[in-house]
Amino acid sequence: MLDVQNTSQPVVTRRADYTAPAWLVPEIALDFDLDPRRTRVRARLNVARNGAHDAPLRLDGDGLAPLAVRVDGVDADWRMDGATLEIALSGDAHEVETEVEIAPERNTQLMGLYASGGNLCTQCEAEGFRRITFFPDRPDVLTRYQVKLTAEKARYPVLLANGDPVASGDLDDGRHWAEWHDPFPKPCYLFALIAGDLAANRDTFTTRSGRDVEVAIWVRERDLAKTDHALHALKTAMAWDERVYGREYDLDVFNIVAVDDFNFGAMENKGLNIFNSRYILADPDTATDHDYDAIAAVVAHEYFHNWSGNRITCRDWFQLSLKEGFTVYRDQKFSADQGSAAVKRIEDVRTLRAAQFPEDAGPLAHPVRPDSYIEISNFYTATIYNKGAELIGMMATILGAEKFRRATDLYFDRFDGTAATCEDFVSCMEEAGEVDLTRFRRWYSQAGTPRVTARLVHEAGSGRAMLTLRQTMAPTPGQPVKEPMVVPLTVKLFGADSGREVAPEQLVLLSEPESEIAFESVGERPILSINRGFSAPVVVETDRSAADLGFLSGHDDDPFARYEAMQQLMLDTLVSSVQRGRGDHAPVIDAVRQTLLDGDLDSAFIAEAVLLPSDSFIGDQMAVVDPDAIFRAREALRRDLGRELEGEWREAYEAALANRFEYSPAAKGARRLKNVALGYINASGAPDAASLAFVQFEQADNMTDRQGALATLASGTSDKRVAALDIFYNRYSDNALVLDKWFATQALSSRDDTAQAVEELSRHKDFTLANPNRARSLIGAFAMNQRAFHDAAGRGYRFVADQLIALDKLNPQTAAKLLPPLGRWRRFDKDRAALMRAELERIVATPGLSKDMFEQASKSLD
Ligand code: ARG
Ligand code: ZN
């Protein structure tokens, strides 16, 4: 770790140092006098000594000064130890009261109690509660909450908190109050309140045991019409969790509130989920199919947390994946059940490869159960969430569906009402699954993506085929030497001549550095299909020829394996183009044609299968990333695919043209393929391509088609480009979520002038760093645009660093989240690497830098 003058020595928290809390807080009564400028918070804690010790009570605070401290009703002695309030207590149980004042409208970090769009709301995970009141802010202190909210009635007619409403009333002075009671003990990170001028879309859900739950989605009045999709998703998720996991909802009300200023997607506060409005609001005119899908997934995710997260929470933040990995796994399966499971799997793997594999290969690599952190907010990562979900998926594969369900039942039953560990979860898998997961546990402790090489050798004479598997894993920061992992690989062999199965699918558990699997009576040359369904989150290297990959892409009976074979074929072609300046496009063109014309495939699958790997995924395959050469190679292949298959693309395009909007798997698939086809027609250079896109842009009855056309135009040079951007801006200038798309579309453009355009957009009157969605839509999207961001002169790096330094002063958490693309300097040539490092050094040297940014930037320099 770098030692810098201007940063006070960062405190490292280590998993090995865990000790049980010295004091428990079985009950709390909170009394809020709400006001944007000064909110008075009174807290009455019943505290209980935990075990025999004489340690004082220590209550976390962040930016708080006690106005009063009373113990058992009398003013008490206390002292501040940094931000922590310390009170010496003589007995084993006391009533401790504190009073503080906070200013929600000055809270730009959006952690704790803050103002958004005229409302007051909270975010407490991970350590925001200590910005509201003094409390042992750690997930293993479980407390029953009683909350009273008082606020001006005209301005804040709706007052919500966790649990069930118990009483409310009006005061003489224009203020009113409401009391909420949550019967389930919970950690303080699940605390929430809302005071606002909100309208509800209400419904009733009857649980399978016959309990009526009042569900409601709260938004601004004018957004009410955009909440039906989220409400429907919620009820579908509630029924799904009963059916698939036997989990019922447990309170009389379930409220969801949407706010515009939010640091991430949403938050599972008990009975009162708070959402980023982008994961609630949808109508055909303003939300894409992707938005609709994401809304359903996030609504389900937060709802599922009621069991995997709330009823059973985490002992400490190192166990974060206990709730996040498992809950992502649950929401992925939920989404798979709503439409095409194959397409959902493809999307999830694409996300993993785009976000998690690079993390595992870079300076911020960390295990699914990390060993240390400076700022826990930096660990809400693709590794904890998405790789964590893959770990659950691998255990489900190893156990089989029936035992997996038995194991989750055991887990929910045994650990209900407790703060548990990843180890607790795995031990339930082991016990109910009757398997030994000793070595499997390395997935929790070792960072990095395993690499498996597979070699298949066939002896025609004996009919014997030998599959040799070897695994390796590169060192990651702090872990120079890796132990072999347990890698569950589903494998199947097809005959090269007959095209038929010559060895049935089997699950191979590779647990040694090397292992051999023999197949008997294989009469013809076999073709290897491996890691079917993406059974393990690993990189598989094979020596399969273009012809064999082409065969699998057209004939494998596992849809994921078909997709994967096509991707591999495309990658091999692109990497060789980049390295040798020229690749043979014909096998890719043939395979894409075969997929496009396959009448048995649905449009959604075809659309995914024919898409080229992204610039950055191509870069991930190379020792040194050459952004310009990658861009050229990919564009050349796109152009040839466009030209050679122009007739097929036009047919696919026209077949989908007449559809009216409908949100169904078939209609979504048709739109997806239509927009992919539009992209290829455009890549072909056909003279009418821009007008085709412009007509689609103007006539679209939905945002998927409108934004799809806009994206195509925004990357081009036609005279329709500026017109479309202006029309889009004017049409949606009062809709923040759609304006985010307008910014992001331009930041993702493949035009040569994108870096300059993005700099100009950062001075646009609608651009602000204060809103995380807006910041991400420009800065975050731009940093994903490999060629534009990695401009050889360093213009992109400088711009992003400038923006992050500015953002850090407002909102360190959101700033730090956007830093990782700058940290990948090791993957680039030495000139780019030097420019990137210089920006990281400038960031680390910034006076007053947050610990969030310090951790990300200094680790990236190491
Ligand atoms: N628990 C929330 C979820 O389900 C996310 C909370 C993120 N917190 C943070 N500090 N980044 O996804
Ligand atoms: Zn979550």
- Which among 251, 160, 150 has a CA at the least distance from the CA of 198? 160
Assess if residue 402 is contained within a domain.
Answer: yes
Q: Report if residue 129 sits inside a domain.
A: yes
What is the number of the ligand closest to the CA of 389? 2
First-to-final CA distance of the chain = 7
Three-class SS of 130-199: HHCCCECCCCCCCEEEEEEEEEECCCCCEEEECCEEEEEEECCCCEEEEEEEEEEEECHHHCCEEEECCE
Question: Separation of 535 CA from ligand 1 center, angstroms?
Answer: 27
Atom of ligand 1 at shortest range from CA of 265: 12
Residue 820: C-alpha distances to residues 146, 213, 617, 816, 856 (Å): 41, 42, 16, 8, 7
Q: Is pLDDT at 675 greater than 90 in this prediction?
A: yes
Give the ipTM of the model, two decimals please.
0.98
Q: Which of 62, 125, 268, 327 has the most ligand 1 atoms within 8 A of CB, as the residue to mutate?
A: 125
Check whether residue 61 and residue 185 sit in a common domain.
yes
For 803, the domain range is 733-862
The bound ligand whose nearest atom lies closest to the alpha carbon of 380 is 1
Is 131 domain-assigned? Answer: yes
d(Cα 47, Cα 562) in Å, to the nearest integer?
Answer: 59
Residue 110 in this model has a pLDDT that exceeds 80: yes
Q: How far is the CA of 858 from the centre of ligand 2 (A)?
A: 27
| The two structure tokens encoding residue 426 | 């795995």
CATH code (residue 430): 1.10.390.10
What percent of the chain stands above pLDDT 70?
Answer: 99
Tokens encoding 145: 């909450």
**Secondary structure of 487-536 as H, E, C letters:** EEEEEEEEECCCCCEEEEEEEEEECCCEEEEEECCCCCCEEEEECHHHCC
Q: Atom 3 of ligand 1 has which residue's CA nearest to it?
A: 267
> Ligand 2 centre and the CA of 188: distance in Å?
16
Ligand 1 atom closest to the CA of 817, numbered from 1: 11
- On whether the CB atoms of residues 305 and 327 are closer than 8 A, the answer is yes
- Residues 424 and 441 sit within 8 Å (Cβ to Cβ): no
The C-alpha atoms of residue 571 and residue 614 are separated, in whole angstroms, by 10
- Kindly list the strands in the beta sheet with 514-519, ordered across the sheet, starting from the edge strand earlier in the chain: 514-519, 464-472, 451-459, 539-542
The answer to the question of residue 578 being in a domain is no
In 3-state terms, what secondary structure has residue 230?
helix
Residue 849 alpha carbon to ligand 1 centre in Å: 23
- For 173-194, how does the pLDDT look when each residue is reduced to its tens digit (9 = 90+)? 999 999 999 999 999 999 999 9
CB atoms under 10 Å from CB of 203, counted, come to 16
- 229 half-sphere exposure, CB direction, 13 A CA radius: 26
With the most atoms of ligand 1 within 8 angstroms of its CB, the residue from 188, 267, 326 to mutate is 267
Q: What is the pLDDT of residues 8-40, one digit of tens each?
A: 578 999 999 999 999 999 999 999 999 999 999
- Site to probe by mutation for ligand 1, drawn from 131, 329, 373, 380 as the one with most ligand atoms within 8 Å of Cβ, is 380
- Asked whether the CA dihedral 639, 645, 647, 651 is positive or negative, the reply is negative
Alpha-carbon span 241 to 700, nearest angstrom? 36
pLDDT at 696 exceeding the cut of 90: yes
| Residue ranges around ligand 1 (CB below 6 Å) | 125-126, 264-265, 267-268, 301-302, 305, 377, 380
Ligand nearest to the CA of 264: 1
Residue 659's CB: how many other CB atoms inside 10 A?
15
pLDDT tier for residue 141 given thresholds of 50, 70 and 90: very high
Measured from the Cα of 301, ligand 1's closest atom is 4
Looking at residue 760, which CATH number applies to its domain? 1.25.50.10
Dist. CA 376–CA 127, nearest whole Å: 8
767 in any annotated domain: yes
Six-digit token pair at 187? 């950690």
Distance from Cα 267 to the centre of ligand 1, integer Å: 6
* Residue 452 pLDDT class (50, 70, 90 cuts): very high
**Distances from the Cα of 359 to the Cα of 38, 367, 818, 819, angstroms:** 41, 11, 13, 12
Point out the domain boundary residue: 164, 197, 230.
197
Angle at 772 between CA 289 and CA 844, to 5 degrees: 130
Measuring CA to CA, which residue among 360, 309, 355 is closest to residue 330?
A: 309
DSSP calls for 753-800: THHHHHHHHTTSTT--SSSHHHHIIIIIHHHH-HHHHT-TTSHHHHHH
Q: How far is the CA of 123 from the centre of ligand 1 (A)?
A: 9
Arithmetic mean of pLDDT over the chain = 97
**CA nearest ligand 1 atom 2, residue:** 267
- Yes or no: say if 671 and 704 are a contact pair by the CB < 8 Å rule: yes
Query: Is residue 9 domain-shared with residue 149, that is, in the same domain?
Result: yes
Q: Which residues have a catalytic role annotated? A: 302
How many CA atoms are closer than 13 Å to the CA of 479, on its beta-carbon side? Answer: 23
What pLDDT is attached to residue 582?
83
- For ligand 1, the distance from its centroid to the CA atom of residue 510, given in whole angstroms, is 34
Residue nearest to atom 9 of ligand 1 (CA): 377
Compute the distance between CA of residue 157 and CA of residue 303 in angstroms, rounded to an integer. Answer: 26
* 318 and 189 together in one domain: no
Give me the helices (H) in 400-500, please. Answer: 401-415, 422-433, 442-445
- Determine the distance separating the centroid of ligand 1 and the alpha carbon of 310, expressed in angstroms: 13
Contact 565, 592 (CB under 8 A): no
Nearest ligand for residue 268 CA: 1
For residue 250, how far is its CA from the centre of ligand 1 (angstroms)? 22
Q: What is the DSSP string of 547-607?
A: HHHHHHHHH-SSHHHHHHHHHHHHHHHHHHHHHHS----HHHHHHHHHHHT-TTS-HHHHH
The whole-number average pLDDT for the span 433-451 is 98
Which numbered atom of ligand 1 lies nearest the CA of 376? 10
pLDDT at 4: 41
278 DSSP 8-state letter? G
- Quick one: which atom of ligand 1 is closest to the CA of 327? 4
| Ligand 1 centroid – CA 374 distance (Å) | 17
Q: Which residues contact 314 (CB under 8 A, 6 or more apart)?
A: 139, 140, 320, 322, 323, 419, 420, 421
Is residue 1 predicted with pLDDT exceeding 80?
Answer: no
Output the six-digit token pair for 654.
Answer: 């026209």
Same-domain status, 8 and 140: yes
Task: State the pLDDT at residue 612.
Answer: 98
The pLDDT value recorded for residue 3 is: 40
- Give me the residue label for tokens 């599959």: 467
Mutate to test the pocket of ligand 1, among 264, 276, 279, 321 (most ligand atoms within 8 A of CB): 264
pLDDT of residue 677: 98
pLDDT range class, residue 713, cuts 50, 70, 90: very high
Total domains in the chain come to 3
135 in any annotated domain: yes
Reported as a single tens digit per residue, the pLDDT across 458-517 is 999 999 999 999 999 999 999 999 999 999 999 999 999 999 999 999 999 999 999 999
Ligand nearest the Cα atom of residue 816: 1
250: in domain: no
Instruction: Of 420, 351, 343, 416, give the one whose Cα is nearest residue 390.
Output: 351
Residue 317 lies in a domain: yes
pLDDT interval class at 2 (50, 70, 90): very low
The region, left, alpha or beta by phi > 0 then psi within -120 to 50, assigned to residue 535 is alpha
Task: Please report the atom of ligand 1 found closest to the CA of residue 263.
Answer: 11
pLDDT digits (tens, 9 = 90+) for 645-667: 999 999 999 998 878 899 999 99
Cα 424 to ligand 1 centroid, rounded to whole Å: 22
Q: Which ligand is nearest to the CA of 266?
A: 1
CA distance 716 to 720: 9
Rounded-to-integer distance, Cα 461 and Cα 472, Å: 32
**pLDDT at position 771 over 50:** yes
Task: Give the atom of ligand 1 at the shortest distance from the alpha carbon of 267.
Answer: 2
pLDDT at 8: 59
pLDDT of res. 658: 79
**Ligand index nearest the alpha carbon of residue 279:** 1
Closest by CA position to 68, among listed 100, 46, 40: 100
Q: Ligand 1: which atom is nearest the Cα of residue 302?
A: 4
3-state secondary structure (DSSP) of residue 368: coil
Is the separation of the CB atoms in 493 and 501 below 8 Å?
Answer: yes
Choosing from 445, 479, 504, the residue where a domain stops is 445
- Residue closest via CA to ligand 1's atom 1 equals 267
Q: Whose CA is nearest to atom 8 of ligand 1?
A: 125
> Of 399, 417, 445, which residue constitutes the final position of a domain?
445
Centroid of ligand 2 to alpha carbon of 703 (angstroms)? 27
450 has a pLDDT exceeding 70: yes
Nearest CA residue ID for atom 10, ligand 1: 377
Q: Percentage of residues in the chain with pLDDT exceeding 90?
A: 98
pLDDT at 6 over 50: no
| Protein residue closest via CA to atom 5 of ligand 1 | 267
